[in-house]
Amino acid sequence: MKTYHLIGNLKMNPVSRDAVDRYLDMLRHEFVDGLPEGVAITVAAPFPYLERFASGLPEGVGLAAQDVFWEGEGAYTGEVSSAMLRDLGVSSVLVGHSERRRYARESDDDIAKKAAAAAEAGLGVVLCVGETAEERASGREADAVAEQLGAALSGVPSVHARRIVVAYEPRWAIGTDRVPTPEEILSVRIVIRRAVAERFGHDTAEAVPVLYGGSVRAVSLPETCFDAAMDGVLVGRESLVPDEFGRMACALSERATAGGTVPDIDRI
């Protein structure tokens, strides 16, 4: 059976311990009968509340951080290492999210160092890539994504390649309620598959999950995930709404358990 990935990026929310506890109560209620089959669910929580999430997430839901630093320890004020995250029960980390590229001015080089350090430390790395509105308007989306991905993967040793998940998040679709067509998503997915194959070979490229992110809701899963042959979704705002997040998990599970309905991108 195919496994779909459902990753919630809570961003800088919830904003207090009480609000975190309310969120976790509601999320546990969503999955009170256990997690749906065929879906790997992860929640990326803010640093101050990671420990609270580690003990309060529903059984089987993975915990991710939203950023990491490339050094292991030392004089790096404000930074957080992979080892610290692992010590708190974190299993994966978002790297290169467009809001980090934009507000923290993260460069491709920073992102490459973060991806390499996190993968070497044993964390799963959710590598976010995506073009700007201007790049898409000028037909440069494939080049932009291939360049970001090539740079980000450059430091990751092949032996850790299977710790990578790629999230295709067009910047113009994040937080805007605009989504690309399935054909547009699929064509970038093919570019991603090719870039991963160039770096790590075809077998690894087939094994590396590729997710779509940007204004996903449960009702848009057919266009953003299934028809575009994606392996799951990275969800921002809607992951803050536990019943909507639960609906997405159920829809992904239904598709996974239906089996055999996923387009094979090698034949497209």
Catalytic residue among 106, 135, 141, 169: 169
- Smallest gap from residue 151 Cβ to ligand PEP (A): 20
Helix (H, G, I), strand (E, B) or coil at 264: coil
Taking CB under 6 A as the rule, does residue 234 contact ligand PEP? yes
Give the DSSP letter of residue 224: I
Taking CB under 6 A as the rule, does residue 214 contact ligand PEP? yes
Cβ 226 vs Cβ 187: under 8 Å: no
Active site residue 160: no
Taking CB under 6 A as the rule, does residue 244 contact ligand PEP? no
Taking CB under 6 A as the rule, does residue 182 contact ligand PEP? no
Task: Closer to ligand PEP by CB, 35 or 240: give it.
Answer: 240
The rounded distance, in Å, linking the Cα atoms of 56 and 70 is 28
CB count within 10 Å of CB 58 equals: 18
Cβ 174 vs Cβ 214: under 8 Å: yes
The stretch near ligand PEP (CB under 6 A) out of 46-54, 210-218, 241-249, 258-266 is 210-218
The rounded distance, in Å, linking the Cα atoms of 6 and 47 is 20
Exactly one of 9, 82, 224, 253 binds ligand PEP (CB under 6 A); which one? 9
The stretch near ligand PEP (CB under 6 A) out of 14-22, 72-80, 167-175, 260-268 is 167-175
Task: Closer to ligand PEP by CB, 58 or 213: give it.
Answer: 213
The stretch near ligand PEP (CB under 6 A) out of 24-32, 47-55, 158-166, 229-237 is 229-237
Taking CB under 6 A as the rule, does residue 235 contact ligand PEP? yes
Cα dist. 155→69, 100, 150, 160 in Å?
14, 19, 10, 10
Exactly one of 169, 223, 231, 244 binds ligand PEP (CB under 6 A); which one? 169
Taking CB under 6 A as the rule, does residue 96 contact ligand PEP? no
Active site residue 120: no
CA angle 240, 130, 146 (to 5 degrees): 145
- Smallest gap from residue 56 Cβ to ligand PEP (A): 22
Per CB under 6 A, residues contacting ligand PEP are: 9, 169, 174-175, 213-216, 234-237
